Amino acid sequence: MLKNLKKLYFPLLILLFISCQSQEKKKAADTIYFNGDIITMSGDQAEYAEAVVTNDGKIVFVGSLAEARKSYEIQNKSDLNGKTLLPGLIDGHAHFSSFSTQAIGAQILPPPDAGANNISALIEILKAWNTPENRELTGWIFGLGFDDSVLEENRFPTKDDLDQVSTTHPIMIIHISGHFAIVNSKGLEVLGITSDTEAPVGGVIRKDENNQPNGVLEELAAFQHMMKALSPKSKEAKKKFMEAGQKMALSYGYTTAQEGRAMENHEELAKAAEDSTFKLDVVSYIDYMFADPYMTSEWNDKSYKNHYRIGGMKVTLDGSPQGRTAWRTIPYLIPPEGAEESYSGYPAIPNDSIVKSIYATAFKNDWQILTHANGDAAMDQMIRCMKPIAEKYGNEDRRNVLIHGQYAREDQLDDFKELDVIASLFPLHTFYWGDWHKQIIGDSLGNKISPTRTAMDKGLKITIHTDAPVALPNLMRMIGISVERKSRSGEVIGANERLTPYEALQAITIWSAYQHFEEDSKGSLEVGKLADLVILDKNPLKVKESEIKEIQVLQTIKEGEVVYEL
The pLDDT tens digits of the residues spanning 360-396 come to: 999 999 999 999 999 999 999 999 999 999 999 999 9
Give the whole-angstrom CA distance, residue 463 versus residue 518: 14
Neighbours of 291 (CB within 10 A): 19
Does the pTM exceed 0.85? Answer: yes
Report whether 326 contacts 345 (CB < 8 A). Answer: yes
DSSP-derived secondary structure for 497-512: GPPPHHHHHHHTTHHH
* Sign of the torsion angle spanned by Cα atoms 451, 457, 463, 464: positive
Average pLDDT over residues 44-72: 97
What digits encode the pLDDT tens for the residues 459-491?
999 999 999 988 889 999 999 999 999 999 999
Average pLDDT over residues 235-264: 95
Per-residue pLDDT band for 346 (boundaries 50, 70, 90) equals: very high
Residue 564 confidence (pLDDT) above 70? yes
d(CA 404, CA 60): 37
Return d(Cα 362, Cα 369) in angstroms, integer.
6
- Phi and psi, residue 235, nearest 5°: -60, -40
Please report the pLDDT score of residue 179 as a whole number. 86
Overall size of the chain counted in residues = 566
Q: Give the sign of the dihedral formed by CA 12, CA 18, CA 24, CA 26.
A: negative
CB atoms within 10 A of CB 58: 16
Q: Which of 148-152, 328-332, 347-351 has the lowest mean pLDDT?
A: 148-152
Mean pLDDT within 118-143: 96
Split at pLDDT 50, 70, 90, the class of 5 is very low
Helix (H) or strand (E) holding 161: helix 159-162
What confidence category does residue 34 fall into, taking pLDDT thresholds of 50, 70 and 90? very high
DSSP 166-212: -SSS-EEEEETTSSEEEE-HHHHHHHT--TTPPPPTTEEEEE-TTS-
- The pLDDT, as a whole number, for residue 54 is 98
- CA dist list (Å): 542 to 83, 300, 548, 551, 552: 12, 41, 9, 12, 14
Residue 341: Cβ within 10 Å count: 9
Question: DSSP H helical segments within 462-542, as ranges?
Answer: 475-484, 501-507, 510-515
Strand (E) or helix (H) holding 401: strand 401-404
Helices 235-251 and 265-274 meet at what angle, rounded to 10? 80
Q: Give the pLDDT score at 1.
A: 46
| Residue percentage of the chain with pLDDT more than 70 | 96
pLDDT of 230 = 85
Question: Which residues are within 8 A (CB) of 105 and not within 5 positions of it... i.e. 6 or more apart?
Answer: 129, 142, 143, 144, 230
**Percent over 90 (pLDDT), the chain:** 87
Position 342 pLDDT exceeds 70: yes
Contacts of 195 (CB under 8 A, 6+ apart): 207, 211, 212, 213
pLDDT of residue 24: 52
Is residue 88 over pLDDT 80? yes
162-188 pLDDT, tens digit each: 999 999 999 999 998 888 999 999 999
* pLDDT at site 224: 84
User: How would you class 393 by CB atoms within 10 Å of its CB: exposed for 0-12, middle for 13-18, buried for 19 or more?
Assistant: middle
Task: Say yes or no to pLDDT of 23 above 60.
Answer: no
Decide if pLDDT at 497 tops 80: yes
40 or 98: whose pLDDT is higher? 40
Over residues 236-252, the mean pLDDT reads 95
327, pLDDT greater than 80: yes
Q: Which of 104, 93, 29, 10 is nearest to 466 (CA)?
A: 93
**CA gap 168, 2 in Å, rounded:** 104
pLDDT of residue 455: 98
Does pLDDT of 7 surpass 90? no
Compute the radius of gyration of the chain from its Cα atoms: 26
pLDDT at position 231, please?
87
pLDDT of residue 215 exceeding 80, the answer is yes
**What pLDDT does 25 receive?**
77
CA dist list (Å): 433 to 273, 305, 471, 481, 487: 36, 38, 11, 12, 7
- Identify the structural domains of the chain with CATH numbers, from first to last: 25-82+524-566 (2.30.40.10), 100-230 (3.10.310.70), 317-499 (3.20.20.140)
Q: Which amino acid does the sequence have at 152? A: E
Q: What SS3 class is residue 456?
A: helix
